[in-house]
């Protein structure tokens, strides 16, 4: 990119950016990726960050959906070579430079946008299968795009990337469960909540919030049982780093007894760095 054809603010979306800040798991995943891929990976994470920020930054549902539609149109423009947003210029240029000019499909981007719309409409997954589908359309879609940005085109590898991303999204939901409840976001499948004689609204109330760790325990156990079946060989290093960091995070969450009602449990930056460094 040159100063003459890049709008102001584009440099803010190069690596590291607000979606890959130093100390975050995505930062270390991208930091250990090949240098020529880093800006593309950070821009992809930035696109997800920008779309999901609508949930927190826009209070009017109608305005939020308009912004979401704008981003849907913008990714189509970007992939057609006519970006408008500073982030989109970085994404377009970085992908052209590091991906041999091969266009990415719009579908994973639109899947992430659809996940945001589902959250805006308070459409909660009914069961675990539906919950896993939501995760695959969110972080799973991002992982697929990150694999594609590494030049991966094998269908099995892309499926594995999406599965790994969906699994990491499930671990993140455990970590953020208390915050998500306070923001009226989905924490568990509706069936798991109603089986406990509650609604999402009741679970978020002061009378029942203390029950959250017990309700999260089966989901944590399910994620634990799914982890060994996730393929790692063949995935780009950035995705393998993410998977290993989230495995360590799940360990910490279970060790704490899932005490996430009023706190956010995480790994230290040094520990994330060490995991990333040791992931060959």
User: What CATH number is attached to the domain comprising 233?
Assistant: 1.10.600.10
Which pLDDT score, from 0 to 100, does residue 96 have? Answer: 76
Q: Residue 2: inside a domain, yes or no? A: no
Tell me the pLDDT tens digit for each residue of 186-230. Answer: 999 999 999 999 999 999 999 999 999 999 999 999 999 998 787
Which pLDDT score, from 0 to 100, does residue 99 have? Answer: 55
Binning pLDDT at 50, 70 and 90, where does residue 3 land?
A: very low
**Smallest Cα–Cα separation from 135: which of 151, 111, 159?**
111
| Cα–Cα distance for residue pair 92/113, rounded to 1 Å | 18
Q: How many structural domains compose the chain?
A: 1
Q: Residue 183: inside a domain, yes or no? A: yes
Q: Residue 140: inside a domain, yes or no? A: yes
The pair of three-digit structure tokens given for residue 29, joined into one six-digit string: 């995943």
Distance separating the N- and C-terminal Cα atoms of the chain: 31
Q: Residue 85: inside a domain, yes or no? A: yes
Where in the sequence is the domain holding 29, given as residue range(s)?
10-278
Which pLDDT score, from 0 to 100, does residue 229 have? Answer: 81
Tell me: pLDDT of 136 over 90: yes
Tell me: pLDDT of 5 over 60: no
Q: Residue 4: inside a domain, yes or no? A: no
pLDDT over 70, % of the chain: 96
Q: Residue 5: inside a domain, yes or no? A: no
Binning pLDDT at 50, 70 and 90, where does residue 95 land?
A: confident
């Amino acid at each position: 990119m040159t100063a003459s054809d890049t709008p102001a603010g584009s440099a803010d979306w190069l690596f590291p950016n607000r979606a890959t800040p130093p100390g975050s798991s995505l930062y270390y995943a991208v930091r250990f990726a090949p240098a020529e891929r880093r800006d593309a990976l950070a821009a992809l994470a930035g696109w997800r960050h920008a779309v999901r920020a609508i949930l927190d930054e826009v209070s009017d549902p109608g305005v939020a959906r308009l912004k979401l539609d704008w981003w849907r149109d913008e990714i189509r423009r970007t992939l057609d070579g006519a970006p408008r947003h500073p982030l989109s210029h970085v994404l377009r240029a970085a992908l052209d430079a590091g991906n041999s000019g091969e266009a990415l499909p719009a579908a994973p981007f639109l899947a992430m946008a659809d996940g945001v719309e589902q959250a805006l409409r308070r459409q909660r997954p009914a069961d675990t299968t539906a919950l896993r589908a939501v995760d695959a359309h969110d972080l799973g879609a991002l992982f697929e795009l990150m694999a594609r940005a590494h030049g991966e085109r094998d269908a099995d590898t892309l499926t594995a990337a999406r599965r790994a991303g969906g699994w990491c999204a499930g671990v993140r939901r455990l970590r953020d469960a208390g915050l998500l409840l306070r923001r009226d976001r989905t924490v568990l499948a509706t069936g798991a909540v109603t089986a406990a004689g509650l609604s999402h609204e009741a679970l978020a109330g002061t009378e029942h919030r203390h029950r959250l760790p017990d309700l999260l325990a089966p989901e944590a156990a399910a994620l634990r049982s799914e982890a060994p079946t996730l393929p790692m060989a063949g995935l780009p290093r950035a995705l393998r780093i993410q998977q290993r960091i989230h495995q360590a995070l799940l360990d910490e969450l279970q060790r704490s007894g899932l005490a996430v009602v009023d706190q956010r449990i995480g790994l230290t930056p040094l520990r994330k760095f060490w995991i990333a460094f040791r992931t060959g």
